[in-house]
Amino acid sequence: MRLDIKPLSVNEAWQGRRVKTQKYRNYERDILKLLRPMEIPDGKLELYLKWGFSSAGSDWDNPIKPFQDCLQKKYDFNDNRVVRAVTEKVKVKKGEEFIEFSIKSAD
């Protein structure tokens, strides 16, 4: 199905300035500490994300932007280079939540 309408960005969805919560600042700090060095290919990128959620009601798309922004900050690339993404979620026991990801060339 194709809808002939311009997609709405997260930035366009909110009025006024968005301020990071303390929980987000802590998350960003923790993610940046956990990310290991990695070479990001030049050109267009493909991002694979797998979320391990303990709640079956968690939306698969909600954590994308905050995590992608952490990747961008750590690895010094512009996330507008991501042209393809594969995202999946799995149900895990409480306390076993995780994030799995890879970044590769989309060319």
Q: CA 84, CA 78: separation in Å to the nearest integer?
A: 14
pLDDT in tens, 14-25: 777 778 899 999
How many of the other CB atoms lie within 10 Å of CB of 35?
A: 14
Distance (Å) of CA 58 to CA 43, 55, 65, 95:
32, 6, 15, 15
What is the distance between the alpha carbons of residues 60 and 20, in angstroms, rounded to a whole number?
21
pLDDT digits (tens, 9 = 90+) for 96-105: 999 999 999 9
- Kindly list the domain boundaries of the chain, sorted by start residue: 45-107
Task: Count other C-beta atoms under 10 Å from residue 81's C-beta.
Answer: 17
Q: Reply yes or no on whether the pLDDT at 64 is more than 80.
A: yes
Q: What is the mean pLDDT of residues 77-95?
A: 95
